[in-house]
């Protein structure tokens, strides 16, 4: 029962879950309960898209489980009954694919890059990545052990900047908090975090950010209890409306 | 050096209002039951408690306590001995005795020498390096006395200094305390609930009940002529109040007592329990004071049995254990009580 | 020993000790050598010990007088004061860290003034680690010293007053020696709490090797990448704190209790 019993499901597998747009079997109703496992950084965007899908299909109820990408991958591998997995980490998604649990191959639907976050008004006068070498500025980056920290190391290496941070935060939110409080002049965080922080934080994009792109893959799961709704959800995320929502939240979209 | 004080203080249900004066070299004993306000009085005299009114004057002009002026304890020249010695457990005995000198700026060596000399005076020579916990109760109280006296204070306050000691130790410490008090030149106030301490140590006694002075005078006078039931009980007397009428006293509670002298007006009659004799039959020879009474309780009291009697004239009689056995008395039994008029002490109320 | 006491007591021992046993059993013993000599481990350990000790000293300096005020003075609103100063006991440490920013950060109520006047900013310095640890750990000291003061016989202080000692002298020469065992116990609690402090430290002092990265921070971040190495680091912290406490117990605590 790993592959769907119906012919429609088999077709879906062949078409691949990320790129399929034309193979929807007519007559199948989008209804029932849809369970989406998604990375925590997607909380706002996907909740909005879920509401939209429910509005379009009155018989549908979308349930989300937001958590870290590795926790989600572990849960799926352990047999959690999800329909869709939206991860923030291609490696973690790879674990699920390798276990043969995905319905087709995952496709990247969004990506996130680092941005320089500064307090409103930019009191430190930060202009670009080179300012992270200034020992007189109060600067925060993520610790190398966490994803945003390893990304930071990559962009510093690419830009040839000898960074002089005052603190290596344990996660991106902690770094952002210090910007919001005005206790650091700049922090290296994700563009989506800058957007989410609102008016208290300004973002400064920089060209080297492209050296460390964090890609978000999405895929239906082979054991999906509700494959029809799963496909509808993935389609919506990848539609123009989905891309607009992602872009509003600061994601780049393909 | 002298002390004159009028202390007004309210502590919960107790309203204290006491006036006292202590001359140079005099020891004033403050005697009273628990809760009478003795400790409150002493704490006010020490400056540990701010009174609600009155004043404390030392040496005629040096005001220690007043409505406008409160001199805290540590600025007063005083020594205090507490019931359970309160020697600081973390200091040696000598350091305890030297403590008051050190706080007043005396050099360490000099303070130490003075402490050793005082330890010698109270019979604790050689124990200066011990910890208070290693001393016996009597030794600790002697050390506490040395600690209080070492600075030659103007005022010495003793709060039940002997009551924590066992009976034998108490005898010897009381004798020593008497000697030191006799040598002490300042004014001393001794608070106690034990009449024996007051009689043995005080030059004058103040009896305090319910926050007020009920009797004052030399110890022998207080012992012979008590003015309240409390004092009478303490000194082992039965007190009868009445109106003098020639050679007899009509008691307030009914009954008539014959006395040996002519008296008039309100008087007290003090009866010593050992002067009361008990008979199963009305005694022959008809002594003038004889009443049919009923035995309420009988309690052994040393070599005698103390018999509390009820009836027209409530009395207490001490009879020897042998006589008590011969009489074959049991509580509720009817007896005749007789006392000679010449055995009674009569004095104005 | 009665079973109603013995059985829960044994359960409590099991509950407290088994996780420790788990750490010891799961520790990659063969890797202990390499893990210990990894750069930064010694530094984090030294920083932890130094900052916890400084935080304890600071807590003693400020906390013992505070305990005295709570136990002895007749200040109005004392119960409210007591409740307020023990707030860090119940406050999530991360929130404590943010609260410290709001006061001592360079945008904070006090910190702003300091920053403008001197250019000095407390966060992200070793001093900030000490401040964060003190904030979280001092209430432990205050509570235990206040308890000791309340249990001590205040009449010893009366006796000292009649011997010419003012309140300060009485406090130094009588009260403090009397409650020394309580102060020692409080200092040990305080030190242990400071040594394990994580939330307020990482929030207010940040995390930078050599400056603000204490052992608990190093353990947490290592856990993200290499759980086995994190276990080794935890065991090191555990061993060092146990050794310190046993040493103190032998030399200082027992003497204090006997005094």
Residue A253 lies in a domain: no
Residue C180 lies in a domain: yes
Q: Is residue A191 domain-shared with residue A229, that is, in the same domain?
A: no
CA A148 to chain centre: 13
**B211, two tokens:** 């926050």
What CATH number did the domain enclosing A169 receive?
3.40.190.10
Q: Is residue A223 domain-shared with residue A100, that is, in the same domain?
A: yes
**Beta-sheet pairing, A214-220 with A107-112:** antiparallel
Sign of CA dihedral C105, C110, C115, C120: negative
Q: What is the pLDDT along chain B (349 residues), one digit of tens a residue?
A: 589 999 998 888 888 999 999 998 999 999 988 888 898 999 999 999 888 888 889 887 677 787 778 888 999 889 999 989 999 999 999 999 999 999 999 999 999 999 999 999 999 999 999 999 999 999 999 999 999 999 889 999 999 999 889 988 999 999 999 999 999 999 999 999 888 898 899 999 999 999 999 999 999 889 889 998 888 988 889 999 999 888 889 998 888 888 888 888 899 999 999 899 898 888 877 668 889 999 999 888 888 899 999 988 889 999 998 888 888 888 888 999 999 888 899 999 8
User: Residues with Cβ < 8 Å from C7, sequence gap 6 or more?
Assistant: none
Residue A223 lies in a domain: yes
**pLDDT at residue A184, rounded to an integer:** 94
* Percent of chain A topping pLDDT 70: 89
- Picking from C105, C205, C220, the nearest residue to A170 by CB comes out as C220
Residue A152 lies in a domain: yes
Residue C193 lies in a domain: yes
Q: Is residue A103 domain-shared with residue A223, that is, in the same domain?
A: yes
Residue C168 lies in a domain: yes
Residue C150 lies in a domain: yes
**B228, two tokens:** 């309240």
Q: Is residue A21 domain-shared with residue A59, that is, in the same domain?
A: yes
Residue C226 lies in a domain: no
Q: What domain range is C142 assigned to?
A: 55-69+91-213
**Going from the N-terminus, what domains does chain B have, and what CATH number goes with each?**
3-233 (3.40.50.300), 237-348 (2.40.50.100)
Look at residues A154, A144, A172, A168 and name the one whose alpha carbon lies nearest to residue A41: A172
DSSP per position, B106-131: --HHHHHHHHHHHHHHTT-TT-TTS-
- Number of domains present in the structure of chain A: 2
Chains C and B touch (3+ CB pairs under 8 A): yes
Question: In angstroms, rounded to a whole number, what is the distance separating the alpha carbons of residues B69 and B71?
Answer: 6
In this predicted model, what pLDDT tens digit does every residue of C135-182 receive, in sequence order?
Answer: 999 999 999 999 999 999 999 999 999 999 999 999 999 999 999 999
Q: Is residue A66 domain-shared with residue A125, that is, in the same domain?
A: no
DSSP per position, A122-183: -TT---SGGGGG-TTS-EEEE-TTSHHHHHHHHHHHHHT-----SEEESSHHHHHHHHHTT-
In this predicted model, what pLDDT tens digit does every residue of A206-247 receive, in sequence order?
Answer: 999 998 899 999 999 999 999 999 999 999 999 999 999 999
**pLDDT at residue B71, rounded to an integer:** 87
Is B74 close to C164, i.e. CB distance below 8 A?
yes
Burial class (CB in 10 A: 0-12, 13-18, 19+), A59: exposed
Q: Give how far C152 is from chain B: nearest CA, Å.
A: 12
DSSP A221: B
Is C98 close to A181, i.e. CB distance below 8 A?
yes
Sign of CA dihedral B310, B315, B317, B323: negative
**pLDDT at residue A163, rounded to an integer:** 94
| DSSP-assigned beta bridge partners for residue B156 | B79, B188
**pLDDT at residue C77, rounded to an integer:** 86
Backbone angles phi, psi at B115, to 5 degrees: -65, -45
Q: Is residue A218 domain-shared with residue A106, that is, in the same domain?
A: yes
Residue A237 lies in a domain: yes
Residue A187 lies in a domain: yes
Is C163 close to B147, i.e. CB distance below 8 A?
yes
H-helix or E-strand spanning residue B263: strand B256-271
Coil vs helix vs strand at C123: coil
Q: Is residue A226 domain-shared with residue A204, that is, in the same domain?
A: no
Question: Residue B244: left (phi > 0), alpha (psi -120 to 50), or beta?
Answer: beta
Sign of CA dihedral A240, A241, A244, A245: negative
Of the segments A138-152, B144-158, C235-249, which one has the largest average pLDDT value? Answer: B144-158
- Given a cut of 70, is residue A22 above it in pLDDT? no
Q: What is the mean pLDDT of residues A110-116?
A: 94
- Given a cut of 60, is residue A13 above it in pLDDT? no
In this predicted model, what pLDDT tens digit does every residue of C39-58 receive, in sequence order?
Answer: 788 899 999 999 999 999 99
**C75, two tokens:** 């200040």
A touches which chains (3+ CB pairs under 8 A)?
C
**pLDDT at residue B189, rounded to an integer:** 96
Q: Give how far C117 is from chain A: nearest CA, Å.
A: 16
Residue C242 lies in a domain: no
H-helix or E-strand spanning residue C161: helix C155-162
Burial class (CB in 10 A: 0-12, 13-18, 19+), C2: exposed
- Given a cut of 50, is residue A25 above it in pLDDT? no
**C213, two tokens:** 């990265």
Burial class (CB in 10 A: 0-12, 13-18, 19+), C113: exposed
Find out whether B346 and B249 touch, Cβ atoms under 8 Å: yes
Dihedral angle at the C-alpha atoms of A37, A40, A42, A48, nearest 10 degrees? Answer: 80
**pLDDT at residue A104, rounded to an integer:** 86
Residue C43 lies in a domain: no
Is C162 close to B48, i.e. CB distance below 8 A?
yes
Is C105 close to A183, i.e. CB distance below 8 A?
yes
In this predicted model, what pLDDT tens digit does every residue of C112-130 receive, in sequence order?
Answer: 999 989 988 899 999 999 9
- Picking from B43, B90, B103, the nearest residue to C163 by CB comes out as B103
- Picking from C164, C178, C259, the nearest residue to B103 by CB comes out as C164
Q: How many CB pairs under 8 A join B and C?
A: 70
Q: In chain C, what is the straight-line distance between the N-terminal and C-terminal CA atoms, in Å?
A: 31
Interface of B with C in 244-273 (CB under 8 A): none
- For residue C167, which residues of chain B lie inside 8 Å, CB to CB? 74
Triad A129, A130, A132: Cα angle to 5°: 75
**pLDDT at residue A67, rounded to an integer:** 86
Residue A24 lies in a domain: yes
Is C160 close to B99, i.e. CB distance below 8 A?
yes
**pLDDT at residue C202, rounded to an integer:** 92
**pLDDT at residue A64, rounded to an integer:** 95
- Number of domains present in the structure of chain C: 1
Residue A107 lies in a domain: yes
Residue A1 lies in a domain: no
**pLDDT at residue C11, rounded to an integer:** 95
Q: How many CB pairs under 8 A join A and C?
A: 62
Q: Is residue A72 domain-shared with residue A92, that is, in the same domain?
A: yes
Residue C225 — pLDDT band, cuts 50, 70, 90? confident
Inter-CA distances, C178 with B89, C31, C146, C156, C242, Å? 8, 48, 13, 9, 27
Q: What domain range is A223 assigned to?
A: 7-111+214-248
Find out whether B51 and B44 touch, Cβ atoms under 8 Å: yes
In this predicted model, what pLDDT tens digit does every residue of A66-77 receive, in sequence order?
Answer: 988 888 998 999
- Given a cut of 60, is residue C258 above it in pLDDT? no
Q: Is residue A105 domain-shared with residue A13, that is, in the same domain?
A: yes
Q: Is residue A192 domain-shared with residue A129, that is, in the same domain?
A: yes
Question: In angstroms, rounded to a whole number, what is the distance separating the alpha carbons of residues A157 and A98?
Answer: 31
**pLDDT at residue C252, rounded to an integer:** 59
DSSP per position, A5-50: SSHHHHHHHHH-TTT--S-PPTT----EEEEEEEEGGGHHHHHHHH
Mean pLDDT score across all residues of chain A: 86
What CATH number did the domain enclosing C203 receive?
1.10.3720.10
């Amino acid at each position: 029962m790993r592959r769907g019993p119906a012919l429609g499901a088999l077709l879906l597998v062949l078409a691949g879950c990320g790129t399929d747009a034309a193979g929807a079997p007519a007559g199948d109703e989008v209804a029932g309960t849809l369970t989406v496992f998604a990375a925590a950084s997607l909380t706002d965007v996907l909740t909005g898209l879920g509401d939209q899908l429910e509005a379009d299909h009155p018989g549908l109820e979308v349930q989300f489980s937001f958590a870290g990408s590795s926790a989600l991958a572990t849960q799926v591998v352990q047999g959690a009954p999800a329909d869709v997995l939206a991860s923030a980490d291609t490696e973690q998604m790879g674990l699920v694919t390798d276990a043969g649990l995905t319905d087709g191959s995952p496709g990247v639907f969004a990506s996130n890059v680092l941005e320089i976050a500064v307090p409103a008004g930019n009191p430190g006068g930060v202009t670009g990545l080179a300012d992270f070498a200034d020992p007189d500025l109060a600067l925060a980056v993520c610790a190398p052990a966490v994803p945003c920290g390893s990304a930071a190391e990559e962009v510093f290496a690419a830009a040839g900047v000898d960074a002089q941070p005052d603190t290596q935060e344990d996660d991106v939110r902690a770094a952002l908090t210090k910007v919001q409080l005005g206790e650091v002049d700049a922090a290296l965080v994700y563009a989506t975090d800058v957007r989410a922080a609102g008016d208290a934080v300004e973002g400064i994009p920089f060209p080297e950010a492209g050296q460390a792109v964090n890609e978000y893959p999405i895929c239906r799961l082979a054991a999906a209890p509700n494959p029809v709704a799963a496909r509808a959800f993935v389609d919506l995320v990848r539609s123009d409306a989905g891309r607009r929502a992602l872009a509003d939240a600061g994601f780049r979209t393909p | 050096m002298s002390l004159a004080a009028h202390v007004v203080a309210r502590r919960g249900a107790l309203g204290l209002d006491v006036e006292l004066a202590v001359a140079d070299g005099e020891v004033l004993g403050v005697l009273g039951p628990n809760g009478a306000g003795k400790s409150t009085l002493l704490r006010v005299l020490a400056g540990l408690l701010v009174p609600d009114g009155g004043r404390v004057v030392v040496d005629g002009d040096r005001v220690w306590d007043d409505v406008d002026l409160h001199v805290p304890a540590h600025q007063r020249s005083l020594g205090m001995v507490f019931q359970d010695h309160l020697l600081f457990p973390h200091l040696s005995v000598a350091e305890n005795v030297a403590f008051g000198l050190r706080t007043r700026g005396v050099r360490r060596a000099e303070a130490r020498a003075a402490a050793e000399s005082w330890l010698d005076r109270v019979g604790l020579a050689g124990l200066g390096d011990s910890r208070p916990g290693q001393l016996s109760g009597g030794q600790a109280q002697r050390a506490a006395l040395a600690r209080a006296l070492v600075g030659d204070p103007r005022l010495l306050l003793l709060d039940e200094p002997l009551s924590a000691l066992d009976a034998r130790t108490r005898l010897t410490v009381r004798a020593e305390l008497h000697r030191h008090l006799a040598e002490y030149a300042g004014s001393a106030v001794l608070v106690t609930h034990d009449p024996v301490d007051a009689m043995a140590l005080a030059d004058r006694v103040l009896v305090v009940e319910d926050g007020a002075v009920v009797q004052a005078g030399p110890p022998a006078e207080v012992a012979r002529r008590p003015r309240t039931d409390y004092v009478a009980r303490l000194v082992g007397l039965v007190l009868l109040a009445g109106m003098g009428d020639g050679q007899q006293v009509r008691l307030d509670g009914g009954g008539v007592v014959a006395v040996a002298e002519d008296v008039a007006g309100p008087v007290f009659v003090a009866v010593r329990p050992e002067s009361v004799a008990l008979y199963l039959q009305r005694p022959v020879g008809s002594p003038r004071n004889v009443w049919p009474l009923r035995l309420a309780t009988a309690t052994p009291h040393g070599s005698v049995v103390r018999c509390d009697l009820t009836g027209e004239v409530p009395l207490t009689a001490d009879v020897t254990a042998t006589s008590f056995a011969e009489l074959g008395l049991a509580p509720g039994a009817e007896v005749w009580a007789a006392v000679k008029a010449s055995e009674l002490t009569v004095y104005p109320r | 020993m009665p079973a109603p006491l013995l059985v829960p007591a044994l359960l409590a021992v099991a509950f407290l000790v088994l996780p420790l046993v788990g750490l010891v059993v799961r520790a990659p013993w063969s890797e202990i050598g390499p893990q210990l000599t990894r750069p930064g481990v010694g530094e984090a350990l030294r920083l932890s010990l130094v900052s916890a000790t400084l935080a304890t000293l600071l807590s003693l300096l400020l906390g013992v007088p505070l305990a005295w005020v709570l136990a002895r003075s007749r200040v109005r609103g004392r119960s409210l004061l007591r409740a307020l100063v023990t707030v860090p006991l119940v406050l999530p440490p991360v929130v404590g860290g943010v609260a410290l920013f709001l006061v001592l950060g360079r945008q904070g109520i006090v910190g702003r003034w300091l920053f403008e006047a001197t250019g000095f900013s407390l966060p992200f310095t070793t001093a900030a680690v000490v401040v964060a640890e003190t904030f979280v750990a001092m209430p432990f000291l205050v509570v235990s010293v206040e308890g000791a003061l309340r249990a001590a016989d205040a009449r010893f202080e009366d006796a000292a007053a009649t011997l010419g000692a003012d309140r300060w002298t009485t406090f130094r020469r009588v009260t403090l020696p009397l409650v020394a065992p309580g102060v020692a116990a409080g200092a040990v609690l305080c030190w242990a709490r400071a040594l394990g402090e994580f939330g307020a430290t990482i929030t207010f002092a940040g995390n930078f090797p050599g400056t603000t990265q204490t052992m608990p921070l190093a353990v947490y971040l290592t856990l993200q990448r290499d759980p086995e190495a994190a276990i080794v680091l935890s065991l090191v912290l555990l061993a060092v704190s146990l050794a310190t406490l046993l040493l103190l117990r032998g030399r200082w605590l027992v003497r204090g209790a006997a005094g």
